Amino acid sequence: MKRQKGNKFEIFPPGYFRKICQSKRENCEFYSKQLVGSAHSNKQLLEAFNYENLLQGGSAREIKHLQQIWKSGDFISYDFGPVENLQTYHGVEALTYNISQITVPIVLYFGETDAIATPEGVHGIYARMLKSVKSVRRINSLKFNHLDFLISNDVKSLVNDKLIEQMEQFLEGRLPYVIE
Q: What is the pLDDT of residues 136-161, one digit of tens each?
A: 999 988 888 888 888 888 999 999 99
Torsion angle of C-alpha atoms 59, 60, 62, 65, degrees rounded to 10? -170
End-to-end alpha carbon distance in the chain: 44
Taking CA atoms, 38 is separated from 28, 48, 144, 152, 171, in Å, by 17, 16, 5, 7, 32
Q: Could you give phi then psi for residue 107, rounded to 5 degrees?
A: -115, 125
- CB neighbour list of residue 13: distance below 8 Å, 6 or more residues apart: 3, 5, 56, 57
Q: What is the pLDDT of residues 85-137, one digit of tens each?
A: 999 999 999 999 999 999 988 899 988 888 888 888 899 999 999 989 988 99
> Percent of the chain at pLDDT above 70?
63
pLDDT band at 180 (very low <50, low <70, confident <90, very high): low
Average pLDDT score over the chain: 76
The H or E element that residue 148 is part of is: helix 148-151
Q: What is the pLDDT of residues 10-60, one digit of tens each?
A: 445 555 555 555 555 555 555 555 555 555 455 555 554 454 455 455 677
